[in-house]
Amino acid sequence: MLRTKFALFPTSKGWFAQDLINLDEEKTAFENISCTSLQDKMTILNLLGMLGLSYDKAQQKVANLSGGERVRLSLAKVLLADANLLILDEPTNFLDMAAIEALETFLKEYEGSVLLVSHDQQFVETSVHSQWEIVQACLVKKS
């Protein structure tokens, strides 16, 4: 019964996982995003910049980026994927404060739904409108 109800609301998902499987190492950082996003070039470059990837880094192949830069790119790719549901698993790992603040701003303005897993309670509290927790195998709204 529940499955049928969810089927009435088609969902486009953006999934951020720490394994970075959504990146093609042979493409540039910019190409990785532009091939899956309807956003224009400036929007893509602006978000990359906010997350700490410069224009020069956006033009480099993913294979030449550091691990931290790949995390930022993977996160940007998910955020710009034109999804109405974002699933974010520990998105603040490997991000500096400026990138975390940019992510907080993005999520506050995001109009879709977000499923966020994080140990960073301050980040969660400043980024989402309502919080739910799993307590003793039950989903409970946090007050």
CATH of the domain at 87: 3.40.50.300
What is the span of the domain harbouring residue 60? 2-141
Binned at pLDDT 50, 70 and 90, residue 7 comes out as very low
> Would you tell me the crossing angle of helices 67-79 and 97-109 to the nearest 10 degrees?
10
- Domain count for the chain, please give it: 1
1 or 92, higher pLDDT:
92
pLDDT of res. 11: 65
Q: Which residues pair with 115 in a beta bridge?
A: 87
Stated pTM of the model: 0.82
61-85: average pLDDT:
93
Task: State the DSSP H helix or E strand holding residue 45, giving kind and residue range, or none if neither.
Answer: helix 41-50
3-state secondary structure of 133: strand
